């Protein structure tokens, strides 16, 4: 098969002698490869050889014999030049469409390429766990440090397992003793190199992480701390301990969830005394990865790790903990894990971008086909003359395909140039980790080039096959064709084009409406002028100073209220536990979100008490046994009058309800408001929230910073307004909204380009008809209306096609939000009308110009 194909192609571009030489060599090489490398690789190599061989031969041939081909190109270039307007619309439209498509596909490829460079990737899993009872399950990325060694020795299905313990931030001493805060540091077992395909530039993978206080660093770190010196054997001061550098890693690609910069040997954990005496119960820090042996069952591993858990830990764990094996490929997408690392992707946006990419390219391609086919009708005469002079059908087909491919190629070049100019700014705008390698780019180009080539061939093939069929006498006789042939096909394309544009416009409007809704809906709290700061709660000394801090803060005249709190709206964390009614039946506990806070909490956030009272320092019991519920919690517990009701918190602490607060959104509007209980507990002040007066806020903040530093002994006062924190929940939506609106505008623009060209063509063809109508007394207005109506009809059809599709798509997107806008017909009608208006403006400018022309000009030659 392949041999015949090769022979066929080669025989066209070279002579018999060269042919037999080449064929002999190719067969010889193929036979060699077949023996050494197997069938598949031999085939691939043969195809590759073939491609390599034809290029120089083609060039060779082109320089000599094929003057005909040159002639085609010459004619094509002349045609492009003569109809510069059309050509521009055609080329530019396709180029823009390609650029947009490439940009969006790039995002998709980048997102889906996470962690796919590990050679054993499909067999790598992470040991994670579910914690809690039915209804209040939480997922944790980390497990106990004892697992990896036990898995290595006791589970035969596991090839290798290793731990990585994440350090949020450590202080590294630079060459001039300056302090750097460094993140992305992991304690790692030496086995990590057997799991992940990281390339170690220097050092032996098996031994670099053996000794305590040995580290492996990436090139980036080496450059930062050692400039260009060879770092191997040097020492690095991390958090006051000296580490010996034993290995150098190549920098990590950004499209991985596990982006390490410094790996410290896990043995160091023991030496530092951070390894628990009972490693089976030290839970949470250690990410455990393992490679499944080939052809082994994952289920039996899952079973065996849970057996390990049951054998080695106490009842406290076994009752609530369930180990789960998470495939590497899921890590980028699973967002619900606590203690997880790396950037998370949203599959919804990947789909959104993918469909937008396909739609925009489709519009551009329809446009191209439409314009080219309509243009060819103009060239009937040329075809007739060519036939009379002796061109056969094959030659005509070749000519038209050459022309159409030439135009596609030119726009392809423009498209790729435009893409290269734009992609980096897109990525910095999206703030997405950008992990594109050359091979990604080539893949992307290959996809788009293939698509565009198909379009070029399709667009060229219609006139090529259809029009080359006519008998020359037929063509010459008719003189001017009516222009209706192929009209229905083109109308279908116009309808599709506009339908897609309308879908995109509706989508844009509704995304913006939803964002507006989310930003302006009553959240139940006041987010203005609340200053958040992370309280150093791990430091016991600072913790003791909390009351001092509060008193000092409140001394300032512009500080209204201050509270320590576990979490506030805008910070993504929550704390769930179970409560039960006092005296209720055993086991009748329900899950509830609890919020440890301080006395000023309700006032700081401007929450509204609907019944009962706020916490007050006047009542001495408030800090021990008073709680406030939100309305959702009251509803869940089924209280008529909740004030004074007794509850049991954490299964042991008796509390009574003193007030009910109006529901407020702690999480984004994607989520429903969950039942919540607020109580006072200074152990859990992760944050401080301070309500200040809007006037002189800079001075107030400066004062707070001073107090913060002196009282807590912190080096910095990092604060953030709650408003910004909360709005960042919608950053993804806002960015998508902006991008989609840009792409929509482009799509609409391309559609209009197409319509513009088509209308110009139409009026040109009907020049005489218009002249006759005018002579017979038609007014300019009636003529313009006549031709505008023609197009308006199709845009209306496009509306009818687009609405249900748009409705379905946007409804799916809105399904993401617990609180969403209702779908009204208005955006649909609005975008439909807009499309219609734009179409009419585009078309009528031509129609009016044609109608204004003097009929003498058009009828004179008859």
Partner 1 sequence: MQFLSRIEEILLLAIWKLGDDAYGIAIREQVEKDTGVNWLSGAIYGPLSRLRKNGYVKTAVGDNPSDQRGRPRIYYTLTLIGKEKLQEIQMLSRDIWANVPEMK
List residues near partner 1 by CB under 8 A: 14, 17-18, 20-22, 24-26, 28-29, 49, 52-57, 59-60, 64
Of 50 and 719, nearer to partner 1 (C-beta) is: 50
Q: From the CB of 47, what's the least distance to partner 1, in Å? A: 12
Of 42 and 835, nearer to partner 1 (C-beta) is: 42
Helices (H), 133-290: 147-154, 192-195, 219-226, 267-271
Q: Give the single-character DSSP code of 266.
A: T
Q: What whole-number distance in Å separates Cα of residue 634 and Cα of residue 678?
A: 13
Contacts 24+ apart (CB under 8 A), 153-156: 154/304, 154/308, 155/301, 155/304, 155/305, 155/308, 156/293
Q: Which of 765, 770, 768 is nearest to 783 (CA)?
A: 770
Q: Which of 808, 802, 815, 809 is nearest to 747 (CA)?
A: 802
Q: From the CB of 50, what's the least distance to partner 1, in Å? A: 9
Q: From the CB of 293, what's the least distance to partner 1, in Å? A: 38
Q: From the CB of 52, what's the least distance to partner 1, in Å? A: 4
Burial of 230 (C-beta count, 10 Å sphere; 0-12/13-18/19+)? exposed
Q: Give the single-character DSSP code of 567.
A: -
Name beta bridge partners: 327: 125
Q: What whole-number distance in Å separates Cα of residue 558 and Cα of residue 699?
A: 9
Q: From the CB of 448, what's the least distance to partner 1, in Å? A: 26
Asked whether the beta carbons of 280 and 315 are under 8 A apart, the reply is no
Q: From the CB of 9, what's the least distance to partner 1, in Å? A: 13
Q: From the CB of 10, what's the least distance to partner 1, in Å? A: 10
Residue showing tokens 């530019």: 92
Q: From the CB of 1, what's the least distance to partner 1, in Å? A: 17
Residue showing tokens 């116009």: 494
Of 54 and 759, nearer to partner 1 (C-beta) is: 54
Q: What whole-number distance in Å separates Cα of residue 725 and Cα of residue 749?
A: 36
Q: From the CB of 28, what's the least distance to partner 1, in Å? A: 5
Of 49 and 355, nearer to partner 1 (C-beta) is: 49
Of 27 and 204, nearer to partner 1 (C-beta) is: 27
Of 29 and 224, nearer to partner 1 (C-beta) is: 29
Q: What whole-number distance in Å separates Cα of residue 106 and Cα of residue 255?
A: 13
Of 40 and 55, nearer to partner 1 (C-beta) is: 55
Give the helix/strand (H/E) hosting 742: helix 731-765
Of 50 and 819, nearer to partner 1 (C-beta) is: 50
Of 19 and 648, nearer to partner 1 (C-beta) is: 19
Asked whether the beta carbons of 382 and 476 are under 8 A apart, the reply is no
Q: From the CB of 35, what's the least distance to partner 1, in Å? A: 15
Contacts 24+ apart (CB under 8 A), 467-470: 467/376, 467/379, 467/380, 467/383, 467/396, 467/400, 468/383, 468/393, 468/396, 468/397, 468/400, 469/393, 470/380, 470/383, 470/384
Q: From the CB of 51, what's the least distance to partner 1, in Å? A: 8
Of 45 and 720, nearer to partner 1 (C-beta) is: 45
Q: What are phi and psi of 242, to 5 degrees?
A: -95, 130
Ranges assigned E (strand) in 250-285: 262-265
Of 48 and 351, nearer to partner 1 (C-beta) is: 48
């Amino acid at each position: 098969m392949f041999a015949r194909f090769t022979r066929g192609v080669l025989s066209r571009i070279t002579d018999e002698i060269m042919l037999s030489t080449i064929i002999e060599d190719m067969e010889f090489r193929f036979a060699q490869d077949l023996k050494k490398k197997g069938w598949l690789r031999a085939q691939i190599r043969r195809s590759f050889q073939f491609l390599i061989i034809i290029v120089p031969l083609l060039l060779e041939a082109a320089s000599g014999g094929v003057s005909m081909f040159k002639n085609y190109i010459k004619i094509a270039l002349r045609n492009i030049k003569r109809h510069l307007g059309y050509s521009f619309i055609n080329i530019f439209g396709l180029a823009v469409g390609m650029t947009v498509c490439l940009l969006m596909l790039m995002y998709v490829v980048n997102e889906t390429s996470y962690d796919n460079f590990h050679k054993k990737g499909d067999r790598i899993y992470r040991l994670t766990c579910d914690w809690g009872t039915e209804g209040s399950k939480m997922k944790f990325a980390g497990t106990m440090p004892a697992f990896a060694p036990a898995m290595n020795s006791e589970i035969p299905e596991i090839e290798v397992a290793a731990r990585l313990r994440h350090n949020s931030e450590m202080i590294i001493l630079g060459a001039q003793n300056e302090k750097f805060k460094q993140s992305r540091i992991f304690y790692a077992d030496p086995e990590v190199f057997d799991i992940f395909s990281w390339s170690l530039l220097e050092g032996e993978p098996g031994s670099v992480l053996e000794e305590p206080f040995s580290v492996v660093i990436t090139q980036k770190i080496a450059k930062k701390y050692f400039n260009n010196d060879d770092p191997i054997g040097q020492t690095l001061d991390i958090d006051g301990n000296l580490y010996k550098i034993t290995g150098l890693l190549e920098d990590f690609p950004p499209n991985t969830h596990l982006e390490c910069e410094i790996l410290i040997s896990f043995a160091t954990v023991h030496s530092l005394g951070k390894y628990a005496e009972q490693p089976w119960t030290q839970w949470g820090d250690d990410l455990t990865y393992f490679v499944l042996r080939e052809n082994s069952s994952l289920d039996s591993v899952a079973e065996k790790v849970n057996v390990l858990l049951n054998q080695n830990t106490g009842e406290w764990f076994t009752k609530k903990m369930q180990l789960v094996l998470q495939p590497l490929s899921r890590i980028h997408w699973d967002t619900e894990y606590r203690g997880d690392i790396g950037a998370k992707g949203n599959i919804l946006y990947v789909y959104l971008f993918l469909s937008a990419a396909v739609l925009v390219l489709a519009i551009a391609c329809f446009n191209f086909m439409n314009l080219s086919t309509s243009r060819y009708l103009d060239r009937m005469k040329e075809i007739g003359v060519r036939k009379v002079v002796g061109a056969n059908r094959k030659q005509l087909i070749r000519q038209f395909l050459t022309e159409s491919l030439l135009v596609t190629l030119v726009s392809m070049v423009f498209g790729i140039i435009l893409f290269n100019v734009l992609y980096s700014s897109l990525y910095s705008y999206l703030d997405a980790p950008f992990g594109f390698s050359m091979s990604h780019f080539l893949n992307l180009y290959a996809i788009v080039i293939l698509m565009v080539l198909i379009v070029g061939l399709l667009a060229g093939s219609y006139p090529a096959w259809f029009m080359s069929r006519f008998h020359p006498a037929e063509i010459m006789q008719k003189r001017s064709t009516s222009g209706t042939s192929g009209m229905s096909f083109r109308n279908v394309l116009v309808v599709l084009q506009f339908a897609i544009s309308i879908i995109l416009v509706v989508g844009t409007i509704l995304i913006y409406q939803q964002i507006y809704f989310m930003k302006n809906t009553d959240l139940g709290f006041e987010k203005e002028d609340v200053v958040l700061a992370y309280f150093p709660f791990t430091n016991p000394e600072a913790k003791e100073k909390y009351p001092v801090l509060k008193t000092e803060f409140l001394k300032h005249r512009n500080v209204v209220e201050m509270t320590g709190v576990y979490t506030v709206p805008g910070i993504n964390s929550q704390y769930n536990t179970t409560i039960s009614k006092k005296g209720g039946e055993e086991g009748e506990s329900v899950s509830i979100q609890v919020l440890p806070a301080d006395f000023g909490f309700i006032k700081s956030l401007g929450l509204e008490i609907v019944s009962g009272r706020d916490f007050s320092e006047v009542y001495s019991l408030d800090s021990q046994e008073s709680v406030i519920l939100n309305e959702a919690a009251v509803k869940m517990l089924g209280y008529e009058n909740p004030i004074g009701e007794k509850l049991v918190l954490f299964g042991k602490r008796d509390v009574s309800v003193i007030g009910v607060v109006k529901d407020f959104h702690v999480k984004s509007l994607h989520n429903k408001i969950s039942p919540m209980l607020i109580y006072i507990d200074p152990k859990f002040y992760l944050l401080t929230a301070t309500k200040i007066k809007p006037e002189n806020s800079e001075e107030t903040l400066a004062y707070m910073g001073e107090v913060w530093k002196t009282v807590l002994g912190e080096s910095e006062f990092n604060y953030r307004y709650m408003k910004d924190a909360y709005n960042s929940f919608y950053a993804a939506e806002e960015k998508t909204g902006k991008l989609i609106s840009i792409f929509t505008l482009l799509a609409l623009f391309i559609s209009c380009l197409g319509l513009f060209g088509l209308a110009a063509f139409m009026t040109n063809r009907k020049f005489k008809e218009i002249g006759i109508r005018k002579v017979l007394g038609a007014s300019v207005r009636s003529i313009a209306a006549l031709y505008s109506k023609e197009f308006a009809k199709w845009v209306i059809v496009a509306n009818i096609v687009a609405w249900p599709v748009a409705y379905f798509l946007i409804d799916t997107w809105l399904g993401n939000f617990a609180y969403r806008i209702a779908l009204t017909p208005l955006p649909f009608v609005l975008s439909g009308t807009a499309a219609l208006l734009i179409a009419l403006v585009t078309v009528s400018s031509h129609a009016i110009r044609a109608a204004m022309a003097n009929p003498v000009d058009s009828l004179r030659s008859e």
